[in-house]
Amino acid sequence: MQKWELAYIDYQNGMKYKDIAAKHDVSINTVKSWKSRKWNEPPEKKGATKKEKVAHKKEVQPVIDNDDLTEQQ
């Protein structure tokens, strides 16, 4: 096990930062950084909500009855 894992066990047992730092021969600030980086549960990731892409129907224009137009036009 690594130092921070052993220190975490001591932290769970109720030891203070100062005592953990002395036991594992690290600075108190190192113990604090371990706590903030490794011991805390990772927060739930909240992402931006995505908008649904919806296809809109186009309005159909009425067919003009014009005798000058062919069927293809």
Does the global pTM surpass 0.75? no
**CA-based end-to-end distance of the chain:** 80
Which candidate, 2, 3, 1, 11, places its Cα nearest to that of 39?
11
Give CA 38 to chain center in angstroms.
17
pLDDT digits (tens, 9 = 90+) for 2-49: 888 889 899 889 999 999 999 999 999 999 998 888 877 666 677 778
Query: What is d(CA 40, CA 28) in angstroms, rounded to the nearest whole number?
Result: 17
Domain boundaries, the chain: 3-39
DSSP category for residue 13: T
Query: What is d(CA 33, CA 26) in angstroms, rounded to the nearest whole number?
Result: 11
* Three-state secondary-structure class, residue 17: helix
